[in-house]
Structure 1
Amino acid sequence: MNDLKENRVLNLKNNLIQYALNNFLNMDNFDFSRINKTSYLRKILNEKEIQKLLDSLISKIKSYKNINPYELSIKDSEEIKKIVISHLLEFDKGKYFFDKHFLKFFIDKGYLDVAEDFINRAKKEDGNLSGEEIFQAMRNVWIMNSLQIIWDMSLDLTPSIYAYSMLYPYTDNLLDNKDIDLQEKNRFNHILTKTLKGEKQISSNAYENRVFALIQDIELQYNREDFTQVYDSILLIQEAQIESLKQDQNTTMTEDDILPISFFKGGSSVLADAFLVKGNLSKEEMEFSFEYGAFLQLLDDLQDTIEDKVEGHQTIFSINVKGDLDKNILKLISYIFEVNTPNSSDSQAMVFMKEVIGSCSLIMVMDAVGRNHSLVSKKLYKNLESFSKVRLSFYKKMESQLNELNKTFNLKY
């Protein structure tokens, strides 16, 4: 029985990696005629309006700066929420980043309500979590919420969404912690894998006890007998986490070595998200989820290129020079839009969400290039900037102001 299960999981893994990789490798340079250019004057005007809104937002919430976010009253929390929502709606109304009113759509759907519920529960259950760690987990909640909308489900913080979103910040942080030796990481991975397979393990510390409790929360929603693929998918992301440790070793890797690992890690993460949202998936739903995760992983790698170069973490961006970076960035943009091209069987919600995902992902590429212009050639920089609604350099300026805003709450929203 175990051999059959292992073969099933292995086949799922290999088929999805091959499918996604083939699609990525077959991408040509992106056809920029698919999107609209923005004039230089419009960029400047957009930046001025964005700056006004940011200044207004910072001004209106600065009175809450010295309040511990763990001690905010209900009234204060509601007032901050109103201020944030009103400014988000103004950003949306002006179409300073998107051509459609995406933000209003998400607010109306309840994204901020789910985020608030998640933050409150996370702070209540673990007061030692930093704002950055909570935000790291909340990013996964947003992805799972997106999948709920794509599949016409109500937006909800289910037990599995909460537990899984909290699980991998814990495990990621342990595996990324350079103060923990490889032997301890391997021991933890060994017992975590057994736990994910349904084998009871005895925790040796409070950290492991917390991880095991989160897995039990998932089991309460999805029993192992009826939802085998839920646990197959979680095992895949655990295997991918272990596999990705190779990227930090001294052995020099090529793109051909790195890409399958990156696709496996990113793809399996959102695949698990999808199974935990829906319980069971069709072949097409698995393929979309896996590719969604694959390009999100590449986006993360692009954003972390300089840091990864310094730390010796090998990605297709950190090992390459400008010419190859240009090629890979253009291939990534093309891949993102290909994955998010609607097909005839898509529901109205899925068509809309694919447009949202494509637009947001392109902005993430522009943001990464804008903050690290040395990554790319002048030609690509200028080309990307011509399609951005602001100058690429403005993203870095805006980021510093948002970081200042984050300090007000001591929590990175």
Structure 2
Amino acid sequence: MGDIHLQYYYDLFREKWWVSSNTFKLNIDKISYFQKKKREKELDKLIDTVVNHIKSFPKSEVEKKQWKSKGDKFLRELMKKDKLFKLENFDEDLKERFFKSTENFIKASREFDKKLNLEDIGQAMRNVWIINILQAVMGEEVSLTKAIFGYSMLYPYTDNYLDDIYIGSSEKNKFNNRLQERLKGENISYNNNHEAQVYKLVENIEEVFPRREYPKVYESLLQINNGQIRSLEQQEEVTIPYDKDILGISILKGGSSVLVDGYLVRGEMTPEEIEFCMGYGFLLQLGDDLQDVKEDLKNNHITLMSQLAGKYCLDTISNKLINFTMDLVDNLQCKNKDNEVRLKELIKNNCIMLILFSIGLSKEYFSKEYVKTIEGYLPFTIDYLENLKPKITKKLQEIKDEQGISGERLMYILDEVVSLG
């Protein structure tokens, strides 16, 4: 698999997955019913505060700056007090760097493409946060670079295109093959505006990491593209377990995605850093597959989770994923010794909460006893989680109805937020 020797890590994580325990042994604090209801009230209050802040968007330039300053102060205070993902434990400088990276990314994404919706921006921003975490783990300064922006933005431009059920496999394969040539450094002319944007994002990476000096950056990019190509096999037809190597595809696609993240920190990695990035990406891929199990079943997209869902309870495979996650993070070696414990806790909480929330929102694929056990560790009740997205959607609709604000107007407000100050 090239100079990075991915075959070694590919085999390693296949073995680690099979030997991971499938017994439930989650080692985090339980949250009482009283604590859950208290947190639900706090989140409801937070949602109302954000909604009211959007409603109060002013017209004058002076008031806009004051409005943005108030919003920034509110978000910073929120990060300081965050208990769900343990951000409250980090020093002020590191929290500020995470905040500035997020702010800079939103601004850059809107400048790059004003047609992007909030969901697309959020999808790309999630990858920025992963790289920011890796920067902290590797002892580097947490910041947004042009290369990080370019690669993170490729997610909504490639993943969403390949997941679109209205685009045929032939077109998707042509797109992937042309992108592969571009990633190899070939001077490929674009066929349409979508390809033009994708190739521009690749240019952003090239400006920071010249090809001759950092060949592994581009080798890792080719690996994620190979993973994307292979993942199309998951869309072609409904398969039974062992008919296709779905586990191998998950390791390759998920592992190589965060492998690129790691190389974009400083262009090189140690074997230990490569191993962690591959494992981190793999577990995030399975977490996403668990989160998307309903949609994948609906669209006949085959993953480790959707192959089993509805036929067997997903209790055991979820235990396996939880234990794999805990083991990987516990064995992580941080260069940032001052924040090592806090960074491990941050990564672990992010990953475990992704898994637990996904279980709570797909409870029909688990045993009732298992769901009841899992709910004990969730920060909110499952009933609250199930109604959270509809509640936020309703609140946003109320803004539109009361203020006469369209979806475009909300994006305009976002543009104003990131362009001031």
What TM bracket, shorter-length normalisation?
Answer: 0.7 to 0.9
Q: Deviations over 1:222-250 (max 9, x none)?
A: 11112111111000000000000000111
Amino acid at match of 1:134: I
In 2, the alpha carbon distance for the partners of 1:50 and 1:296 equals 25
1:86 and 2:73 matched? no
1:189 and 2:182 matched? no
Asked if the contact 2:283–2:321 (Cα under 8 Å) also holds between the matched residues in 1, the reply is yes
1:275 and 2:269 matched? no
For residue 395 of structure 1, the aligned residue among 365, 380, 385 is: 385
Asked if the contact 1:151–1:350 (Cα under 8 Å) also holds between the matched residues in 2, the reply is no
Asked if the contact 2:25–2:323 (Cα under 8 Å) also holds between the matched residues in 1, the reply is no
In 2, the alpha carbon distance for the partners of 1:294 and 1:340 equals 13
User: What is residue 212 of structure 2 aligned with on the other side?
Assistant: 225
What runs of 5+ residues in structure 2 fail to find an aligned partner? Answer: 400-409
User: What is residue 47 of structure 2 aligned with on the other side?
Assistant: 54
Asked if the contact 2:176–2:229 (Cα under 8 Å) also holds between the matched residues in 1, the reply is yes
Cα displacement (A) at 1:266: 0.7
Amino acid at match of 2:298: V
Q: Deviations over 1:290-336 (max 9, x none)?
A: 11011111111101111111110111111214644111111001111
For residue 307 of structure 1, the aligned residue among 287, 292, 295 is: 295
Report percent identity of matched pairs.
Answer: 33
For residue 227 of structure 2, the aligned residue among 236, 240, 246 is: 240
Judged with a 3 Å threshold, the aligned counterparts in structure 2 of structure 1 residues 30 and 84 are, in CA distance, closer, same or farther, namely farther
1:175 and 2:162 matched? yes
In 1, the alpha carbon distance for the partners of 2:12 and 2:50 equals 45
Please give the secondary structure, in 1, of the residue aligned with 2:30.
coil
In 2, the alpha carbon distance for the partners of 1:231 and 1:308 equals 30
User: What is residue 36 of structure 1 aligned with on the other side?
Assistant: 29
1:376 and 2:366 matched? yes
The two structures have a TM-score, normalised by structure 2, of 0.86
Q: Deviations over 1:42-73 (max 9, x none)?
A: 32333333333333343343323x99xxxx95
User: What is residue 406 of structure 2 aligned with on the other side?
Assistant: none
Please give the secondary structure, in 2, of the residue aligned with 1:8.
coil
Q: Greater CA deviation, 313-322 or 372-381?
A: 313-322
Asked if the contact 2:30–2:377 (Cα under 8 Å) also holds between the matched residues in 1, the reply is yes
User: What is residue 329 of structure 1 aligned with on the other side?
Assistant: 318
Amino acid at match of 1:244: S
Judged with a 3 Å threshold, the aligned counterparts in structure 2 of structure 1 residues 52 and 204 are, in CA distance, closer, same or farther, namely closer
The two structures have a TM-score, normalised by structure 1, of 0.87
Please give the secondary structure, in 2, of the residue aligned with 1:32.
coil
Judged with a 3 Å threshold, the aligned counterparts in structure 2 of structure 1 residues 303 and 406 are, in CA distance, closer, same or farther, namely farther
Q: Deviations over 1:328-359 (max 9, x none)?
A: 11100111111110467764234321211111
In 2, the alpha carbon distance for the partners of 1:292 and 1:362 equals 12
In 1, the alpha carbon distance for the partners of 2:232 and 2:308 equals 19
In 1, the alpha carbon distance for the partners of 2:85 and 2:279 equals 23
Q: What is the RMSD computed on CA atoms of the aligned residues?
A: 2.8
In 1, the alpha carbon distance for the partners of 2:19 and 2:307 equals 21
1:293 and 2:278 matched? no
Q: How many residues align?
A: 397
In 1, the alpha carbon distance for the partners of 2:340 and 2:5 equals 24
Judged with a 3 Å threshold, the aligned counterparts in structure 2 of structure 1 residues 243 and 406 are, in CA distance, closer, same or farther, namely farther
1:15 and 2:11 matched? no
In 2, the alpha carbon distance for the partners of 1:99 and 1:157 equals 22
Cα displacement (A) at 1:14: 1.7
Amino acid at match of 1:40: Y
Asked if the contact 1:30–1:330 (Cα under 8 Å) also holds between the matched residues in 2, the reply is yes
In 2, the alpha carbon distance for the partners of 1:87 and 1:139 equals 18
Asked if the contact 2:238–2:300 (Cα under 8 Å) also holds between the matched residues in 1, the reply is no
Judged with a 3 Å threshold, the aligned counterparts in structure 2 of structure 1 residues 37 and 178 are, in CA distance, closer, same or farther, namely closer
Asked if the contact 2:86–2:346 (Cα under 8 Å) also holds between the matched residues in 1, the reply is no
Amino acid at match of 2:27: R
In 2, the alpha carbon distance for the partners of 1:343 and 1:300 equals 22
In 1, the alpha carbon distance for the partners of 2:51 and 2:78 equals 10
In 1, the alpha carbon distance for the partners of 2:166 and 2:332 equals 48
In 2, the alpha carbon distance for the partners of 1:73 and 1:265 equals 43
Cα displacement (A) at 1:219: 1.3
Cα displacement (A) at 1:88: 4.4
In 1, the alpha carbon distance for the partners of 2:325 and 2:129 equals 18
In 1, the alpha carbon distance for the partners of 2:31 and 2:124 equals 34
In 1, the alpha carbon distance for the partners of 2:78 and 2:87 equals 16
User: What is residue 272 of structure 2 aligned with on the other side?
Assistant: 284
Asked if the contact 1:57–1:83 (Cα under 8 Å) also holds between the matched residues in 2, the reply is no
Amino acid at match of 1:215: V
Judged with a 3 Å threshold, the aligned counterparts in structure 2 of structure 1 residues 35 and 224 are, in CA distance, closer, same or farther, namely same
Q: Greater CA deviation, 32-41 or 339-348?
A: 339-348
For residue 99 of structure 2, the aligned residue among 88, 112, 122 is: 112
Please give the secondary structure, in 2, of the residue aligned with 1:110.
helix
Q: Greater CA deviation, 199-208 or 387-396?
A: 387-396
Amino acid at match of 1:333: I
Amino acid at match of 1:47: E
Judged with a 3 Å threshold, the aligned counterparts in structure 2 of structure 1 residues 288 and 404 are, in CA distance, closer, same or farther, namely farther
Judged with a 3 Å threshold, the aligned counterparts in structure 2 of structure 1 residues 344 and 236 are, in CA distance, closer, same or farther, namely closer
User: What is residue 366 of structure 1 aligned with on the other side?
Assistant: 356
Asked if the contact 2:357–2:378 (Cα under 8 Å) also holds between the matched residues in 1, the reply is no
Amino acid at match of 1:320: L
Asked if the contact 2:136–2:336 (Cα under 8 Å) also holds between the matched residues in 1, the reply is no
In 2, the alpha carbon distance for the partners of 1:247 and 1:105 equals 44
Q: Deviations over 1:62-111 (max 9, x none)?
A: 323x99xxxx9544333322233334444x2xx3x356725886972422
Q: Deviations over 1:110-143 (max 9, x none)?
A: 2222112111111112122222212111111111
In 2, the alpha carbon distance for the partners of 1:384 and 1:63 equals 39
User: What is residue 342 of structure 2 aligned with on the other side?
Assistant: 352
Amino acid at match of 2:296: D
User: What is residue 241 of structure 2 aligned with on the other side?
Assistant: 254
